[in-house]
Homo-oligomer: A and B are copies of this chain.
Amino acid sequence: METSKRPGGRSARVRDAVRRATLAELSEHGMRGLTVENVAERSGVHKTTVYRRWGSVEGLIADALEMAQEEPWPIPDTGTIEEDLRGVARLVQSGFDDPELGPVSSAFVAAAMQSPEAARALHDFFEARHEQSAQVVRRAVDRGELPVTVDVREVIRVAVAPIYYRLFVAHEPVTERDADRAADAALAAARAGVL
């Protein structure tokens, strides 16, 4: 139980413990099973402290998303845009297939539909992801594989959108082949000059 009032390092450790507990609870029980009580118990931080600092389940999720944003995202660098873009799409697809990461990522998407605070946090998260992933497109432009006029972030959106669409809108399964096809479609569009 967290009863100390010391700020600074102690405060950062409390925050870290709560964010980790939020991710672990999300991974095990999903958005529907996430409660302030469970996060407090798992983190060893007093419930009233969690309520005071995070306010609600949505506040916990928004904060955990900020942490996720800082996680390394292993952007591929294979030397060709075909493989790099497929790599980005496969990272997304395999992430949702991962038994630990998948439920957490799905919970983030679900939470953002229910809470404006979580939606803002998810928006920032994806802005960072798009910016980072767009690096593979910028390198392709530098190598002369794509026109300099290409909208690098839009290529990323189009390359991953069908994966999210299947998962969260049409509720269809997503295979590695679906990920490759989404990446190939984005690349064909970029080459044709429509992105």
Interface residues of chain A, those whose CB is within 8 Å of chain B, are 31-32, 106, 109-110, 112-114, 119-120, 122-123, 126-127, 130, 154, 157-158, 160-162, 164-166, 168-172, 181-182, 184-189, 191-192, 194-195
Contact = CB atoms under 8 A, between A and B. Distances in A.
B157 A166 contact: yes
A171 B32 contact: no
B171 A123 contact: yes
Given A164-B164, A191-B192, A185 B172 contact: no
Copies of this chain, tallied across the complex: 2
Q: Interface SS of chain A: helix, strand, loop or mixed?
A: helix
B114 A171 contact: no
A146 to B, nearest CB: 13
A120 B189 contact: no
Given A161-B165, A165-B165, A184-B194, A170 B109 contact: no
A41 to B, nearest CB: 24
Given A123-B171, A162-B157, A188 B182 contact: no
Given A122-B169, A157-B165, A158-B185, 5 more contacts: A31-B113, A110-B110, A158-B158, A184-B194, A185-B195
A48 B191 CA distance: 59
B164 A165 contact: yes
Contacts of A165: 157, 160-161, 164-165
